[in-house]
Amino acid sequence: MTPEQKARVSIDALLVAAGWHVCGVADANIHASTGVAIREFPLNPGFGFADYLLYVNGKACGVIEAKKEGATLTGVEVQSGRYAQGLPAALPA
């Protein structure tokens, strides 16, 4: 298992323990639970993927960008801005 795969298993477990329903894009149901976290959510062309797109009550409300443990937030603001621009306009938010 790669370090990224191990991290994803850990993040998934933390989200589930916090009450989130975690799923992939192919089996996503934004109404499966009050909180749904969709792994590797595709953004608009040219913007890549969000590690997790979060839905609360069927509406997109946030994105999780996974980083290595101990990584600082310095420099991540550029990536966060890209998420705001890359989210598909049709998402219920």
What are the backbone dihedrals phi and psi of residue 34, each rounded to the nearest 5 degrees, phi first? -60, -40
Establish if 72 belongs to a structural domain: yes
Establish if 48 belongs to a structural domain: yes
What local confidence, expressed as pLDDT, does residue 12 receive? 96
Q: What is the pTM of this model?
A: 0.86
What local confidence, expressed as pLDDT, does residue 21 receive? 97
Establish if 93 belongs to a structural domain: no
Ordered mean pLDDT values, 10 residues apiece, the chain (93 residues): 88 97 95 95 90 94 84 76 79 74
What local confidence, expressed as pLDDT, does residue 92 receive? 77
Per the structure, the count of domains in the chain is: 1
What are the backbone dihedrals phi and psi of residue 42, each rounded to the nearest 5 degrees, phi first? -75, 130
Establish if 76 belongs to a structural domain: yes
* Domain assignment of residue 77, given as a range: 3-86
What local confidence, expressed as pLDDT, does residue 84 receive? 76
Query: 13 is written with which tokens?
Result: 């477990």
Establish if 16 belongs to a structural domain: yes
